[in-house]
């Protein structure tokens, strides 16, 4: 081979290598795809959640009718081409109600979980790291809050400040707070004994900086797992409250509200009315629970491997 | 160890005290008061008569005074009388609801355990087989299904397919066992499945943990059959977390059946609390919340102390 050929083949190889790098996915993407393949349930649930979020976000585009539009002439019809899931006792399209109900449930569930988990985690982290008297006092207060049965707490708050979506979210957050706080506090306690925390302290880091820069990243994995399972519980709680009539006020569509007791005689005429909302709730909560499970499986060995 | 027990008990008392403040504050947040509900929107009572009635009931005094009076009564065991039904004391109201909720919770728990322990053990022993997967999905499904939906569906299809509805009025087991069972069977089954789903998962994971231990390997090496190993060694150790969770969920079970009770018309503790909240019956809500909270705190205390007996490491923390 002449030197010219060598140079040519070398540069060809270089170009070929660069092209290869474009085609082969990067390390991180490949890892994600591998995880996705290994955990089919988790992947399915992730897809379901994406679909749900999209439904909630694009509800006006997906729902064929205004869910609050009553039309008594077509009440209690079964599935038809015009009304995929039929109509309810006031002639409202059930499919549209389900679609818009996704908004209510997801909004309530996700927001309440975010608030409750963040607040609870902050308190738990600070309490666990501070230790001593402060820790004890904060923990006792959380215990008191947690000793109250959740339903009672929700009932009182919702009835006290009125049943609106935001009030329900606040009430749920207060209910979620103590549980998240307790778990994160446990984590913070174990992280506190790590050498790098001691090192940071020796160097002169302020406590808050230690908390956010060192404790938080280690605790983050647990927060994510708790959060995703809590969303499921929050959605169930919102549905339960709406079922009791203490949830979002009508006419806002809500899956739980579609199942209220007062509608029972209509269910006898049109059983599908009772099926769809419940299915929607079940599938949603199932997806979030499975996601939480998968997250825990994925994140746990990585935590242990550190 | 007594040191730990004493500290734990003092902590529990403090929490109880804090709880009473929380409950009181929360309840008095409710707008409107019981008089408005009692007299209804229709009644036109002059403001002085209203004020007079308020003074009689004692709900016009400043909150702190009301709180201390209430606390004083509580400490003497007097939870006061329902504001809506002045002839019923709070204790007697809840007392009449207790057997119902108790029966529901007990039946539900039994069903849950009957499902959870065998299924959890089998699922763990046959890990990663199709049986395991089916069980895990079923358990997660059980946690995701809303109880009121199952209840509604069961009542609906019971009516449609079998022309059967549970008896409307509650009768105690002593009075009429047949009617009693019919009233409770549906809600207990639903409750049992829900609780059982969670318990199955816990049983499964704790049995898995126990199976990883060396003593299992030793027992098998000794020649013991798998079944004997499981029953004699694994089960005892893996049941500890299950019992813990059971103990901790006692209070949730008692106080949290509002939805099922409302759906099936069972006048239990949950329904009494719900009605109390809806009618702004302060004493009822306060008394109920405090009692339920006290039960929670007490059961947590017992569980923690029993842990100290079982696990020496905890005593010295």
Give this complex's ipTM. 0.79
- Distance (Å, rounded) from C-alpha A15 to C-alpha B43? 90
Which residue from B258, B140, B160 is spatially nearest to A275, judged by alpha carbons? B160
Separation in Å, CA A6 to CA A10, A12, A17, B102, B276: 6, 10, 16, 87, 90
**Cβ contact B270:A151 at 8 Å:** yes
Q: Each residue's pLDDT tens digit in chain A (306 positions)?
A: 455 565 566 556 666 666 655 555 567 777 777 777 777 778 888 899 999 898 888 888 877 778 777 777 777 777 777 777 777 777 788 888 888 888 888 988 899 999 998 888 888 888 887 778 888 888 888 888 888 777 778 887 777 777 788 888 888 888 888 888 888 887 777 777 777 777 877 887 777 777 777 777 777 777 888 888 889 889 998 888 888 888 888 778 888 888 886 677 777 777 888 888 899 999 999 999 888 888 877 776 654 433
CA A128 – CA A135 distance, rounded (Å): 6
Q: Which residues contact B50 (CB under 8 A, 6 or more apart)?
A: B35
Q: How far apart are the two ends of chain A, measured CA to CA in Å?
A: 51
Which of residues B6 and A112 earns the better pLDDT score? A112
CB atoms within 10 A of CB B110: 12
Contact list in A for residue B144 (CB cut-off 8 A) is 232, 236, 281-283, 285-286, 289
| Chain B neighbors of A274, CB-CB under 8 A | 149, 152-153, 156
Cβ of B149 and A281 within 8 Å? yes
Give the pLDDT of residue A304.
Answer: 47
Q: How far is A63 from chain B (nearest CA, A)?
A: 24
List helix spans (H) across chain A.
3-23, 27-38, 40-57, 59-62, 94-130, 132-147, 150-161, 165-192, 195-203, 207-210, 216-244, 264-269, 272-305
CB nearest B274 (choices: A153, A155, A290): A155
d(CA A81, nearest CA chain B) in Å: 26
What pLDDT score was predicted for residue A205?
76
Map residue B127 onto helix, strand or coil. Answer: coil
Query: Which chain B residues are within 8 Å of A277, Cβ to Cβ?
Result: 149
Closest CB to B251 among A145, A149, A285 = A149
Mean model confidence pLDDT for chain B: 79
Contacts of B30 in chain A (CB under 8 A): 156, 159-160
Closest residue to A159, CB basis, from B15, B278, B289: B278
Beta-carbon contacts below 8 Å between A and B: 153
Read off the tokens for B201: 């998962």
Instruction: Express each pLDDT in B68-116 by its tens digit.
Output: 877 777 777 777 777 777 777 888 888 888 888 888 888 898 999 898 8
Paired strand residues for B89: B81
**The tokens 């804090």 sit on which residue?**
B18
* Percentage with pLDDT > 70 across chain B: 85
Q: Do B26 and A160 touch (CB under 8 A)?
A: yes
CA–CA separation, A153 vs A175, rounded Å? Answer: 7
Task: Judge if the upstream peptide bond of residue A251 is cis by omega within 30 degrees of 0.
Answer: yes
Q: In 3D, which of B249, B274, B258 has the Cα closest to residue B148?
A: B258
pLDDT of amino acid A128: 80
- Give the pLDDT score at A306: 34
Higher pLDDT, B314 or A161: A161
| Calpha distance A143→A137 (Å, rounded) | 10
> In chain A, what residues touch B298 (CB-CB under 8 Å)?
none
Helices (H), B58-176: 63-75, 90-125, 130-144, 147-162
Residues in chain B: 317
pLDDT at A284: 92
Is the predicted pLDDT of residue B166 greater than 90, yes or no? Answer: no
CB contact under 8 A, A152 and B152: no
- Within 10 angstroms of residue B258's Cβ, the number of other Cβ atoms is 24
Lowest mean pLDDT: which of A226-235, B6-15, B165-174?
Answer: B165-174
Q: Look at B143 and A239 and tell me if their CB atoms are within 8 Å.
A: no
Distance CA A171, CA A158 (A): 7
Mean pLDDT of B220-247: 76
Chain B residues lying within 8 Å of A244, measured CB to CB: 258-259, 262, 274
Interchain contact, B297 vs A256, CB within 8 Å: no
Residues pairing with B54 in the sheet? none
Closest residue by Cα to residue A244 from A158, A176, A173, A137: A158
Backbone angles phi, psi at A87, to 5 degrees: -125, 160
The nearest CA of chain B is from the CA of A234 a distance in Å of 11
Query: Quick one: closest CA in B to A293, which residue?
Result: B140
What chain A residue is nearest to B14 in terms of C-alpha separation? A140
pLDDT digits (tens, 9 = 90+) for B209-219: 888 878 777 87
pTM assigned to the model: 0.81
Residues 6+ apart with CB under 8 A from A144: B15, B16, B18, B19, B21, B22, B293
Shortest distance, CA B222 to any CA of chain A (angstroms):
32
The dihedral through the CA atoms of A168, A171, A177, A178 has a sign that is negative
CB atoms A264 and B152 under 8 Å? yes
Q: In this complex, do A244 and B258 lie within 8 Å of one another by their Cβ atoms?
A: yes
Residue B31's closest chain A neighbor by CA? A160
CB contact under 8 A, A156 and B160: no
pLDDT of amino acid A25: 58
A142 to chain B: closest CA residue? B15
Reading the block at residue A112, the tokens are: 């309440």
Residue among B200, B164, B160, B163 nearest B185 (CA): B164
Q: Can you name the residues that pair with B81 across neighbouring β-strands?
A: B89
Upstream peptide bond of A113 is cis (omega within 30 degrees of 0):
no
pLDDT in tens, B24-62: 877 777 666 656 655 654 456 666 666 776 666 666 677
- The burial of B173, by beta-carbon neighbours within 10 Å (0-12 exposed, 13-18 middle, 19 or more buried), is given as middle
Q: Which two tokens stand for residue A118?
A: 């963040």
> Searching chain A, which residue's CA lies closest to the CA of residue B150?
A278
pLDDT of residue A300: 67
In Å, how far is B229's CA from the nearest CA of chain A? 28
d(CA B12, CA B31): 31
What is the residue whose two structure tokens read 């008990």?
B9
Q: What are the backbone dihedrals phi and psi of residue B119, each rounded to the nearest 5 degrees, phi first?
A: -65, -45
Count of C-beta atoms within a 10 Å radius of residue B295: 17
In total, chain A counts a number of residues equal to 306
Q: Do A274 and B149 touch (CB under 8 A)?
A: yes
Task: Check residue A86 and give left, alpha or beta (phi > 0: left; psi -120 to 50: alpha).
Answer: left
pLDDT at res. A273: 83
| Nearest beta carbon to residue A145 from set B22, B29, B140 | B22
Confidence of residue B65 (pLDDT cuts 50, 70, 90): confident
Which residues fall within 8 angstroms of residue B247, CB to CB, at 6 or more apart? B299, B300, B302, B303, B306
When CB atoms are compared, the residue of A41, A160, A239 closest to B146 is: A239
Residue partners of A256: CB distance under 8 A and separation at least 6: A105, A238, A239, A240, A241, A242, A243, A247, A277, A281, B146, B148
- Asked if B19's CB is within 8 angstroms of A244's CB, the reply is no
d(CA A151, CA A172): 10
The single residue listed with the structure tokens 């499921």 is: A232
Helices then strands, each counted (H, E), chain B: 15, 0
Cα dihedral sign, A212-A214-A220-A222: negative
Question: Which residues of chain B are within 8 Å of residue A153 when distances are taken between CB atoms?
Answer: 26
């Amino acid at each position: 081979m002449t030197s010219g050929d060598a140079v040519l083949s070398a540069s060809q190889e270089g170009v070929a290598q660069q092209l290869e790098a474009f085609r082969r996915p990067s390390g991180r993407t490949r890892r994600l795809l591998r995880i996705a393949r290994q955990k089919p349930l988790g992947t399915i649930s992730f897809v379901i959640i994406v679909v749900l979020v999209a439904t909630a976000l694009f509800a006006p585009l997906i729902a064929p009718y205004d869910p609050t539009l009553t039309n008594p002439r077509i009440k209690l019809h079964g599935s038809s081409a015009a009304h995929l899931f039929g109509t309810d006792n006031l002639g409202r399209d059930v499919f549209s109600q389900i679609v818009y109900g996704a908004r209510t449930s997801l909004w309530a569930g996700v927001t309440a979980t975010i608030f409750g988990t963040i607040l609870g985690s902050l308190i738990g982290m600070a309490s666990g790291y501070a230790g001593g008297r402060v820790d004890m006092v904060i923990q006792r207060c959380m215990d008191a809050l947690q000793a109250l049965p959740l339903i009672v707490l929700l009932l009182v708050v919702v009835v006290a400040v009125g049943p609106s979506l935001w009030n329900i979210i606040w009430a749920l957050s207060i209910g979620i707070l103590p549980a998240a706080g307790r778990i994160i506090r446990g984590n913070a306690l174990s992280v506190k004994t790590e050498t790098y925390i001691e090192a940071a302290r020796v160097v002169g880091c302020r406590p808050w900086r230690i908390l956010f820069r060192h404790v938080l990243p280690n605790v983050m994995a647990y927060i994510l797992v708790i959060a995703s399972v809590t969303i499921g519980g929050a959605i169930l709680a919102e549905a339960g409250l709406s079922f009791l009539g203490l949830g979002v006020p009508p006419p806002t569509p809500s899956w739980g509200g579609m199942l209220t007791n007062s509608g029972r005689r209509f269910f006898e005429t049109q059983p599908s009315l009772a099926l769809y909302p419940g299915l929607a709730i079940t599938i949603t909560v199932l997806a979030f629970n499975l996601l939480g499970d998968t997250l825990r499986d994925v994140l746990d060995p990585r935590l242990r491997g550190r | 160890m007594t040191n730990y027990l004493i500290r734990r008990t003092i902590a529990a008392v403090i929490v109880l005290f804090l709880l009473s403040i929380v409950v009181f504050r929360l309840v008095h947040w409710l707008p409107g008061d019981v008089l408005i509900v009692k007299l209804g929107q229709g009644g036109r009572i002059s403001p002085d008569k209203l004020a007079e009635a308020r003074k009689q009931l004692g709900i016009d005094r400043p909150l702190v005074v009301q709180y201390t009076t209430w606390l004083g009564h509580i400490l003497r065991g007097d939870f006061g009388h329902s504001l809506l039904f002045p002839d019923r004391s709070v204790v007697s109201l809840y007392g009449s609801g207790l057997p119902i909720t108790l029966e529901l919770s007990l039946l539900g728990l039994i069903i849950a355990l009957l499902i959870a322990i065998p299924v959890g053990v089998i699922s763990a022993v046959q890990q990663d087989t199709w049986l395991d997967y089916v069980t895990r999905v079923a358990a997660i499904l059980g946690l995701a299904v809303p109880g009121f939906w199952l209840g509604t569906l069961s009542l609906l299809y019971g009516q449609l397919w079998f022309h059967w509805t549970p008896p409307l009025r509650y009768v105690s087991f002593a009075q009429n066992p047949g009617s009693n069972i019919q009233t409770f069977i549906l809600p207990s089954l639903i409750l049992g499945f829900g609780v059982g789903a969670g318990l199955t998962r816990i049983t499964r994971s704790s049995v898995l943990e126990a199976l990883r231990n060396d003593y299992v390997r030793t027992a098998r090496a000794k020649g013991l059959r798998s079944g004997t190993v499981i029953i004699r060694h694994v089960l005892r150790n893996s049941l500890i977390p299950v019992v813990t969770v059971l103990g901790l969920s006692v209070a949730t079970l008692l106080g949290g059946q509002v939805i099922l009770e409302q759906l099936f018309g069972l006048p239990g503790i949950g329904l009494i609390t719900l009605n109390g909240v809806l009618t702004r019956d302060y004493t009822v809500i306060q008394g109920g919340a405090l009692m339920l909270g006290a039960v929670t705190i007490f059961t947590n205390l017992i569980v923690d102390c029993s842990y100290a007996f079982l696990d020496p490491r905890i005593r010295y923390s």
